[in-house]
Structure 1
Amino acid sequence: MNTPPSPPGAERTDGSSVQTGPAVQIGVLTPLTRPGWAEAGQHLLAGSELAAREVNDTGGIGGRPLELLVTDTAADPLRAAAAVDEWARLGVAAVAGEYHSVVARTAAARADALGLPFLCSSAVFDALTEQPTEWVARLPPAQSHGWRIYADFLLGAGHSRIAVAAEPSAYWASGTRILRDHLAPRGGTLIELDMRVLTATALCDELAGNRATALLLLVGHPEPAIPIVRSVRRDPRLAEIMIGAPAGQPEFAQWATLLGEDSAAIPFLRYLPERLSPLGQRVKAALRERLGAAPSFVAFEGYDTVAVLADVLRSQGTSRARIAEAWPLVAVEGTRGRIQFTREPGINVWQWAWPPVQIVDRDPAEPDRFRVLHAT
């Protein structure tokens, strides 16, 4: 089989067996090295590879193997854009993946400009594209959807003065704006603390003086999230403050490894149902074996992404235009529910509205176990 070379930084992964003919290729963007969130990227890739293997074990795409071309974005938008440009030249059928919203936004803009279908696996930034596009679809909920649910959870738990420790980025700024706009009409106050100028110790002094009852971590992991948690947990003035992480930093094992018992009781958003379907249970078991650990919701997002694209490729063929035209026709049983795409107000891409949303934390009695605090 003669196939063109992968783009720089890419590797092929398909797990194919008996199919013949040229491979149907999908480009996959995922962060596998720092400063990207590598653990999230590994889970995203594990789910994508598992789905690709199952597609090939059941006949591939019309008898042709499905092949994933994987690029490590390392959270670098320019690296993602270069990969999309190269994949468009090489003739891939579609692009998938990415965890970091700022990277996915750049990839989506390039895909839209090039007429290349892009199914975003795990990035929630509302403004994934500046203008409405037919080329891009997304599995995870928009940031505004999930973070409003989180804000209501805070209010329901009695928190009306909420501090955010934030770093500068479009994603964190968007999250802050969503929280402020949702909390203010409901009697909530948001106190912004700029981590460009505050150390973890200085942050504790600010919290002690402003009467906040909750602190939200709108910062990177492991730095400065881990030092912030340690400092707050050890400050007797802040014994009653709740720490929260709407972006999901506590989801992955490294969080518990680095923080130990301090990792618990920090509510975060994740996109799983209360109970997985039989398909979800089967995939969970296979992902656990592949990862050597419990799969995160990001691994399920990776699996569902490739499952959706495979369904579209089998029904529509590899024409990029036909793939894009098929977004509103998708009806796939994914690991977390039936996936269909619609147009939602204020969202410029085809959107699964909505995946299940949970607010969970790690159990203080057993930090490796998650407690579901709220579910939709």
Structure 2
Amino acid sequence: MSTPAPSLPDAVVRVGVVVPLSPPGWAEAGEHLLAGIELAVAEINGAGGVAGRPLELAVRDTAADPQRAAAAVDELAGLGVVALVGEYHSVVARAVAPRADALGLPFLCTSAVLDALTEEPTEWVARLAPPQSRGWKLYADFLLAAGHRRIAVAVQPSIYWESGIRILRNHLAPEGGTVVQLDLQALTPPAVCDELATDGATALLLLAGYPEPAVPIVRAVRQDKRLAEVMIGAPAGQPEFAGWAESLGDDGAGVPFLRYLPETFTPLGARVDAALRERRADPPSFVAFEGYDAIAVLAEVFRTCGTDRTRIAESWSHVAIEGTRGQIDFSRTPGINVRQWTWAPIQVVDRDPADLDRFRVHRSG
């Protein structure tokens, strides 16, 4: 049941933001997401706001804690936010989405990809990031095209990693591919290397937290002469961020990952890219563009449908705007219980060993 929002001054449109900004959350990703959100808000307010009313953000740090995030949703709903945006971690978004649904609070999920954000279909939740099933199938196609049939995954317990393994297995099996799991609760980085040396896998995928234990595993594998021909991959996107290159240097090159950018930005995307580079010392990641696009979507909804929570939720299927990465609209996708931007761009890329600041695109979809 929808909970009426407390009355707010007519002069403000308040939007709630849930984002990881402290450990054990991936703070670097959260900072990029917030940077994109804040840039969009600054531009909209600089142009007069929405119908003469400025946007105001109420930001809460989830720290990758589902319970903390659910409590933040309750708090923000009580503060009178008209909509909620954000979250990078899928396991956290899985707590945020059903709570927003229960409260009748529109939630535009920016970056979490787990297919099952909610157990039942809902009109209150929409998502910009492509579902994990689509992205990880593209990654599996990349592995097959590169000649990898036996894949090892270094994995920590998580519904997100378990879902990813299932997608990989189901997509690789018809082509003769196999996936073997290496349990990081039981194996140290040197032990992972020993398992790889005897198993015969030609690729090792890091389905694990960053920087620990992902960084020590990469270093161990790179330094092990027995594994010189083993490809390291990170489908969840850890190498996207500058911290990866700073931590690993040359060892962090040539690690393919998924990112959600097009081959060519829209004119808006090119302008936002330049603006983000002016605001931050590090290059903007795809997560920053997801944040910008989320506010652009909400602003368009506010202009056309107003700021009533129910009307916002009803508007997802009518959204059609040019975002930084292409035309954004939402529809019902089979197997997905939220409104989904169906054709968000996906790439498989890595950092070029000859230039760590340059990304090589291996596959797009």
> Do these two structures clear the TM 0.5 threshold for a shared fold by scoring above it?
yes
Question: Which residue identity does 1:321 align to in structure 2?
Answer: T
C-alpha separation in 1, matches of 2:241 and 2:259: 11
1:155-205 deviation line (CA, Å, top 9, x unaligned)? 010000000000001111111111111111121010111101000000000
2:125 equivalent in structure 1:
136
Give the TM-score normalised by structure 1. Answer: 0.94
The Cα of 1:21 is off from its aligned counterpart by 3.9
Matches within 5 A, 1:272-287: 272-287=261-276
1:371 equivalent in structure 2:
360
The Cα of 1:312 is off from its aligned counterpart by 0.3
The Cα of 1:22 is off from its aligned counterpart by 2.8
1:13 equivalent in structure 2:
none
Identify the match of residue 39 of structure 1 among 3, 8, 28.
Answer: 28
Residue 227 (1) aligns with residue 222 (2)? no
1:109 equivalent in structure 2:
98
Question: Which residue identity does 2:282 align to in structure 1?
Answer: A
Which structure 1 residue ranges, 4+ long, deviate > 6 Å from structure 2?
A: none
Secondary structure (helix, strand or coil) at the match of 2:53 reads: coil
Are 1:344 and 1:351, in contact at CA under 8 Å, matched by a contact in 2?
A: yes
Residue 361 (1) aligns with residue 354 (2)? no
1:243 equivalent in structure 2:
232
Identify the match of residue 147 of structure 2 among 155, 158, 162.
Answer: 158
C-alpha separation in 1, matches of 2:191 and 2:281: 39
Identify the match of residue 94 of structure 1 among 74, 83, 89.
Answer: 83
C-alpha separation in 2, matches of 1:114 and 1:210: 50
Matches within 5 A, 1:159-308: 159-308=148-297
1:16 equivalent in structure 2:
none
Gaps of 5+ in 2: 1-5
Gaps of 5+ in 1: 5-19
Residue 65 (1) aligns with residue 44 (2)? no
C-alpha separation in 2, matches of 1:261 and 1:143: 29
C-alpha separation in 2, matches of 1:190 and 1:83: 38
C-alpha separation in 2, matches of 1:215 and 1:235: 13
C-alpha separation in 1, matches of 2:92 and 2:279: 26
2:3 equivalent in structure 1:
none
C-alpha separation in 1, matches of 2:216 and 2:77: 42
Question: Which residue identity does 1:159 align to in structure 2?
Answer: H
Q: CA RMSD of the aligned region, Å?
A: 1.0
Identify the match of residue 81 of structure 1 among 70, 73, 76.
Answer: 70
Identify the match of residue 306 of structure 2 among 317, 321, 333.
Answer: 317
Secondary structure (helix, strand or coil) at the match of 1:342 reads: coil
C-alpha separation in 2, matches of 1:289 and 1:38: 20
C-alpha separation in 2, matches of 1:118 and 1:297: 20
C-alpha separation in 2, matches of 1:240 and 1:95: 46
Aligned pair count reads: 358
The Cα of 1:79 is off from its aligned counterpart by 1.3
1:63-114 deviation line (CA, Å, top 9, x unaligned)? 1110111111111111111111011122210000000001111000100000
The Cα of 1:350 is off from its aligned counterpart by 0.1
Question: Which residue identity does 2:90 align to in structure 1?
Answer: S
Are 1:43 and 1:291, in contact at CA under 8 Å, matched by a contact in 2?
A: no
The Cα of 1:53 is off from its aligned counterpart by 0.8
1:125 equivalent in structure 2:
114
C-alpha separation in 1, matches of 2:76 and 2:303: 20
The Cα of 1:278 is off from its aligned counterpart by 1.2
The Cα of 1:290 is off from its aligned counterpart by 1.0
C-alpha separation in 2, matches of 1:314 and 1:122: 24
Are 1:328 and 1:341, in contact at CA under 8 Å, matched by a contact in 2?
A: yes
1:139-158 deviation line (CA, Å, top 9, x unaligned)? 00000000000001000100
Question: Which residue identity does 2:299 align to in structure 1?
Answer: A
Give the TM-score normalised by structure 2. Answer: 0.97
